[in-house]
Amino acid sequence: MKLLPDGTVFHDRAAQKIRRQEQGCEYAAAQLTALGAPRLRPGSDPALWLREALTAVGARNLRHRGAHRYVFRLGRTRREREEIELGLPAL
């Protein structure tokens, strides 16, 4: 994912649509041209244009840390596992 200067996120899927010229690529390209990137010219390499457009608008890499977290109780027996409290302490 890329963070655009206006605070919006440019997702990897949108970038892939531009690279492969899939349905919806015009919308993704319009996002970048609205921020000052040059227009994608017919016959040019979309992957090269995307790289240059992201640099031109000043997009930054944004790491997605994932949506799920799992917690497992540790212990050799069921009784040991049940004695372990999960969660944050009450304030």
Provide the pLDDT for residue 49: 97
Record the pTM.
Answer: 0.69
Q: Chain-wide mean pLDDT for the chain?
A: 90
Report the C-alpha gap between 19 and 25 in whole angstroms.
8
Provide the pLDDT for residue 87: 75
Provide the pLDDT for residue 23: 96
pLDDT in tens, 22-64: 999 999 999 999 999 999 999 999 999 999 999 999 999 988 7
Half-sphere exposure in the Cβ direction for 37 (13 Å, CA)? 25
Smallest Cα–Cα separation from 50: which of 21, 78, 84, 75?
21
Q: Token digits for 37?
A: 């990137």
Q: What percent of the chain has pLDDT over 70?
A: 99
Residue 7's pLDDT band, with cuts at 50, 70 and 90, is: very high
Smallest Cα–Cα separation from 84: which of 50, 20, 75?
75
DSSP conformation class of 44: S
